[in-house]
């Protein structure tokens, strides 16, 4: 009789211990999920991008600033500028940055014939591949102008279109500090940012001296606001770009 009671007691103890263990596992899992969810909501990330280069007057100085702060960026280059400044293209890649396609001649793709879009994109991609040994499947339309027809052509070419949330340069703002102040003041509720800057311009039309001057100030301000800088070559960076590129065609909003 006593043996039976002892066996039952031991059985209940085992069940109670298993139940307690499972409850602890569930509690830890729920807490981890809550912390992870909270981190996802509060974690701020920013991807730095540049268009229209490379340009020997500005790109090397920009690369110096990025190297000083250990930040990687995406450079959307034109094929023509790559042909003219191949050593800068090679330096961009050597220092761990990512290249994107910005057409050969800063060509506006919205409303353009598919054959012309294909020519501009493939020429640039071939130049990039010749200089670096790698192709790129990231694309940004010059001036941000794009329509569904052009998007479909790019999609068929295997390109992922990456737009932006906020741009640094404004024609009406002449001061580098004011440009940074204006951009930071527009961040608002955003937690995941793609920032557009320029390290060149079509036909050398615009000076980018203020961009070079503003860049370290902007980096400091973003850090002060709790933003971490995405490395576009990392798994996180690739996932971030993939997600943003899928959102582009749904909105086509240029800020």
Residues annotated as catalytic are 51, 198
Q: Which distant-in-sequence residues (6+ apart) come within 8 Å of 125 by Cβ?
A: 101, 135, 136
* 3-class state of residue 54 by DSSP: coil
Cα diameter, the chain: 99
Q: Crossing angle for the helix pair 235-251 and 148-156, nearest 10 degrees?
A: 150
Q: CA–CA separation, 139 vs 154, rounded Å?
A: 8
Chain centre distance of CA 198? 15
For residue 168, the cross-strand partners are none
Kindly report the CA angle at 150 between 253 and 183, in degrees rounded to 5? Answer: 25
Q: CA–CA separation, 108 vs 225, rounded Å?
A: 35
Provide φ and ψ at 98, rounded to 5°. -115, 140
Kind of pairing between the strands at 227-229 and 44-53: parallel
Provide φ and ψ at 103, rounded to 5°. 70, 170
């Amino acid at each position: 009789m006593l043996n039976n009671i002892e066996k039952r007691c031991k059985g209940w103890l085992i069940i109670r211990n298993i139940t307690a263990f499972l409850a602890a596992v569930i509690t830890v899992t729920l807490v981890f999920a809550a912390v992870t969810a909270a981190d996802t909501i509060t974690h701020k990330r920013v991807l730095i991008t540049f268009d229209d280069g490379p340009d020997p007057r500005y790109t090397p100085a920009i690369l110096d600033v990025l190297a000083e702060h250990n930040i990687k960026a995406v450079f959307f280059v034109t094929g023509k500028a790559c042909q003219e400044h191949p050593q800068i293209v090679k330096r961009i890649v050597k220092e761990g940055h990512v290249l994107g396609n910005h057409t050969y001649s800063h060509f506006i793709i919205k409303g353009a014939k598919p054959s012309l879009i294909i020519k501009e994109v493939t020429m640039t991609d071939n130049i990039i591949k010749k200089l670096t040994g790698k192709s790129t499947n990231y694309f940004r339309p010059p001036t941000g102008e794009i329509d569904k027809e052009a998007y479909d052509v790019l999609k068929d070419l295997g390109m992922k279109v990456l737009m932006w949330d906020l741009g640094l340069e404004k024609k009406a703002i002449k001061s580098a500090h004011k440009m940074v102040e204006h951009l930071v003041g527009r961040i608002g509720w955003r937690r995941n940012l793609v920032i557009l800057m320029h390290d060149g311009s079509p036909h050398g039309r615009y000076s980018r001296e203020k961009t070079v001057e503003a860049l370290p100030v902007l980096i400091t301000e973003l850090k002060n606001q709790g933003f971490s800088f995405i490395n576009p070559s990392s798994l996180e960076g690739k996932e971030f770009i993939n997600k943003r590129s899928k959102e582009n065609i749904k909105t086509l909003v240029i800020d």
